[in-house]
Structure 1
Amino acid sequence: MVDFDKYIDRRNTQSLKWDGMKAVFGKDDLLPMWVADMDFSPPEAVLGALKKRVEHGVFGYTIATDSTREAMIDWLKNRHGWDVSPEWILFSPGVIPSIRMAIQTFTEPGDKVLLQSPVYTPFFQMIERNDRIVCNSQLLLKHNRYEIDFADFEEKLKTGVKLFLLSSPHNPAGRVWTKDELSEMARLCQKHGVLMAADEIHADLVALPYKHIPLAALDHSIADMTLSFMAPSKTFNLAGLQASFMVIPNAELRKKMAAAQARDGVSMLNTFGQVAMEAAYRHGKSWLDAAMAYIRGNIELVKEEITRNLPELTVIEPEGTYLVWIDCRRLGLSDAELKKRLLEKGKLALNVGDAYGPGGEGFVRMNVACPRDIVQEGLNRLKAALT
């Protein structure tokens, strides 16, 4: 039986979330509910596989085996109904390095790359730091649910966009895109000859009745122009092991990405990352189901407490991820004021919305993948900060 209520002290473990607060927020006396990793131990099967590998005692260069690919392929088939061929898979140390390689491989300096804000901050960073131009089709918030402005989306595509970065499920808004939404985005990108790169790192973290649909699983023509980036890191709390993978059905696109990997020297997986990845995909289903049920309980607690104690705030219902996007705009505070109150009055480390681009102003992102007592304490601190 998994005990998600168990508190695991992560201080002094080189944890970015806990030990990195001073560098990021200027304070280290905060409750961290910011960076997107869990405060839960991964599945026992993963820990067992890692211990066995440690006991072997030699940690030389590691190759990806058929067994690892088979575990991933079975997972994608069983969890998402997606049939993936082994040759479509390339390994990577992370989704962000994969996005960076895609930008460098399929665009030139000065080219436009499309995204949909408010969106995961590294999308902006990877575009700008590689001397490309951010082209933004901002999402529309209607009745507390984000929608795509398809007219604006197509107008932006017409401006010479070369690559579209999709966040699916969406971070930070928690939207799980429907088949119709995905199909229309793909249709417009096909119409205007725009390659699609889908960050699907939160694919497994979807609450019923919603269902994640891999973009490339829609049909063969869409798969032919899609790069899919996935990982077990969010799903099973393995981010520090730096193991992810790309699914690229188009042989020519895959060849170009493999060449980019060879050029950068990043095609080999971390030994422990590979061991953990295979064990998680083979044996992690029951753990994940239990984790998602627990996280859903945390989300319900957030909704109830904010409705009761902070009625000026609105929770954007998360359909996926373990991140809660909270609308604080009715408080009338700037993002700087919001951040100051959180840090000084609440002693609470959250991500403030302006970091996610236009449309994120006045929001905060709360990570609730932690024991319920910590969620409750975070809500108490949020109330102290904002009332």
Structure 2
Amino acid sequence: MRYDFDKQINRFQTASEKWDQLEEHFGDKDLLPMWVADMDFASPEPVIEAIKQRAEHGIFGYTVISDEYLDAVVNWMQVRHDWAIQKDWVCHSPGVVPALHFIVQSFTQPGDKVMFQPPVYYPFSKVIANNGREIVYNPLKYENGRYQMDLDDLRKKIAGVKLLILCSPHNPVGRVWTKEELAELGRICLEHNVLVVSDEIHFDLVLSGHTHTPFAAISEEFAQNAIICTAPSKTFNLAGLQISNIIIPNQKLRKVFADTVDKHFLGLPGTFGLVAAESAYRHGGEWLDQLLAYLEQNLDFLTAYLQQNLPELKVIKPEGTYLVWVDCRGLGLSLKELEQFMLQKAKVAFNQGYVFGPGGEGFIRINIACPRSLLEEGLSRVSAAMRSLKKG
């Protein structure tokens, strides 16, 4: 079937963080939200139907992870990512961010060093700081409009680090790391006995010309020194159902992680999360292919629009995710001025780059997973505000 990604769906009054919490987050309810990473598209029809059928049963008691669910996860990894995993590697967590908290608590002690590569998904820093660990920054290098890992800097700083949190594909800069880049990172971490935790939640959202490589699929050595965090939430717009699959090939690591989850009494998943995820992994491939094609068109539209109307804003072309990192430093505005301009003049809610840590200052992150009419509306607002600013 053909899916209509142009259809606008009213999300107000649905307890949507993205739409109903604008005033709480930004102080203004009359904004167009293009910030938090969920999509303004309906999930695949087979997922919706599976939830309806399960709801009609009428009994929603304690639920366990079935073999059928695990088979669907294993098959998805094999078919979509050429990654052969075993069912007993899959551990439950209500989400990737909770899993990161459990991992930091399980494999480090207060005061231990944990490294990540900013500008990056901002909960990484909270996961480390809130658990009393020390943050070690290994900033990405931004050269000629493209980001790369700074492995020389990593080698200088890795002594004493216990754990590295990798973002792959990278949010917000959009890099899909090559197998060679990941392999070099993995070798350095093995040499220094650093556990790699790879947040791969955007792993299905890879644009044409690029291929995602699961970190643990590179070698058996890497697999035994890695925890891979995945979920159907970004792929199929299921974040509200709180289901993720934390894949841990190493039996000892897996037991430690599972014990920590059990201590928090989070061992049982939600009924509808399991139903939705299994259906998505079994029947959502066609929807995902159509989604990716639509996102590519949105990206092309965004790029062309900015080049023509807002040349001061430079798109860092993403290789994956539906999040676009845009360099706004050409406007010559301070961080506060840039934020106020977008909120008060343009009336659009973007994620400001500084929240992603060192190197994010002067950038914004735009969520393009929306009908093109909404994307055009947001860009038109910014363009109109810019014309007014220049006249002023």
TM-score range, shorter chain: over 0.9
Could you say which residue in structure 1 is the equivalent of 2:243? 243
Could you say which residue in structure 1 is the equivalent of 2:297? 297
Could you say which residue in structure 2 is the equivalent of 1:39? 40
Q: Offset at 1:62?
A: 0.4
The aligned runs of 1:221-236 (5 Å cut-off) are 221-236=221-236
Distance across 2 between alignment mates of 1:278 and 1:204: 15
Could you say which residue in structure 2 is the equivalent of 1:64? 65
Question: What's the C-alpha RMSD, in Å, of the aligned pairs?
Answer: 0.7
Distance across 2 between alignment mates of 1:200 and 1:361: 24
**2:352 is equivalent to residue 352 of structure 1:** yes
Aligned residues: 386
CA shift digits 1:92-125 (9 cap, x unpaired):
1000000000000000111110000000000011
Distance across 1 between alignment mates of 2:85 and 2:264: 26
SS of corresponding position for 1:114: strand
CA shift digits 1:120-152 (9 cap, x unpaired):
000011111111111001001111110111110
Q: Offset at 1:334?
A: 1.5
Are the aligned partners of 1:326 and 1:365 in contact in 2 as well (CA < 8 Å)?
A: yes
Q: Measured at CA, do residues 162 and 337 of structure 1 come closer, stay the same or move farther in structure 2, by a change above 3 Å?
A: same
CA shift digits 1:178-236 (9 cap, x unpaired):
00100000000001000000000000000111000000000000000000000000000
The aligned runs of 1:76-87 (5 Å cut-off) are 76-87=77-88
**2:28 is equivalent to residue 30 of structure 1:** no
**Residue type of the alignment partner of 2:323:** L
Could you say which residue in structure 2 is the equivalent of 1:136? 137
**Residue type of the alignment partner of 2:354:** D
The aligned runs of 1:144-163 (5 Å cut-off) are 144-158=145-159, 160-163=160-163
The aligned runs of 1:105-144 (5 Å cut-off) are 105-144=106-145
5+ long unaligned stretches in structure 1: none
**Residue type of the alignment partner of 1:30:** L
Distance across 2 between alignment mates of 1:81 and 1:346: 44
SS of corresponding position for 1:286: helix
Distance across 2 between alignment mates of 1:319 and 1:21: 29
Are the aligned partners of 1:342 and 1:386 in contact in 2 as well (CA < 8 Å)?
A: no
Distance across 2 between alignment mates of 1:43 and 1:7: 15
SS of corresponding position for 1:360: coil
Distance across 2 between alignment mates of 1:47 and 1:2: 13
SS of corresponding position for 1:27: coil
Could you say which residue in structure 1 is the equivalent of 2:91? 90
Distance across 2 between alignment mates of 1:385 and 1:14: 30
Could you say which residue in structure 1 is the equivalent of 2:390? none
**Residue type of the alignment partner of 1:287:** W
CA shift digits 1:270-291 (9 cap, x unpaired):
1100000000000000000000
Could you say which residue in structure 2 is the equivalent of 1:281? 281
Distance across 1 between alignment mates of 2:158 and 2:382: 40
Q: Offset at 1:267?
A: 1.7
Could you say which residue in structure 1 is the equivalent of 2:210? 210
Q: Offset at 1:386?
A: 3.5
Could you say which residue in structure 1 is the equivalent of 2:8? 7
Could you say which residue in structure 1 is the equivalent of 2:170? 170
TM-score between the two structures when normalised by the length of structure 1? 0.99
Distance across 2 between alignment mates of 1:386 and 1:351: 18
**2:377 is equivalent to residue 377 of structure 1:** yes
Distance across 1 between alignment mates of 2:384 and 2:270: 43
5+ long unaligned stretches in structure 2: 388-392
**Residue type of the alignment partner of 1:335:** L
Are the aligned partners of 1:40 and 1:237 in contact in 2 as well (CA < 8 Å)?
A: yes
CA shift digits 1:293-322 (9 cap, x unpaired):
001100111100000011111100000000
Could you say which residue in structure 2 is the equivalent of 1:19? 20
Distance across 2 between alignment mates of 1:267 and 1:39: 30
**Residue type of the alignment partner of 1:27:** D
Distance across 2 between alignment mates of 1:149 and 1:99: 23
Moved over 4 A (4+): none
Distance across 2 between alignment mates of 1:292 and 1:267: 33
Distance across 2 between alignment mates of 1:386 and 1:167: 33
Are the aligned partners of 1:295 and 1:369 in contact in 2 as well (CA < 8 Å)?
A: yes
SS of corresponding position for 2:306: helix
**Residue type of the alignment partner of 1:217:** A
**Residue type of the alignment partner of 1:189:** C
Q: Offset at 1:385?
A: 3.4
The aligned runs of 1:304-319 (5 Å cut-off) are 304-319=304-319
TM-score between the two structures when normalised by the length of structure 2? 0.98
Fraction of identical pairs, as percent: 51
Distance across 1 between alignment mates of 2:90 and 2:343: 43
Could you say which residue in structure 1 is the equivalent of 2:254? 254
Distance across 1 between alignment mates of 2:386 and 2:274: 44
The aligned runs of 1:306-345 (5 Å cut-off) are 306-345=306-345
Distance across 1 between alignment mates of 2:386 and 2:221: 50
Distance across 2 between alignment mates of 1:250 and 1:308: 51
Are the aligned partners of 1:315 and 1:326 in contact in 2 as well (CA < 8 Å)?
A: yes
Distance across 2 between alignment mates of 1:120 and 1:336: 20
Distance across 2 between alignment mates of 1:377 and 1:315: 18
**Residue type of the alignment partner of 1:235:** T
CA shift digits 1:73-103 (9 cap, x unpaired):
0000000000001111101100000000000
Q: Offset at 1:155?
A: 1.0
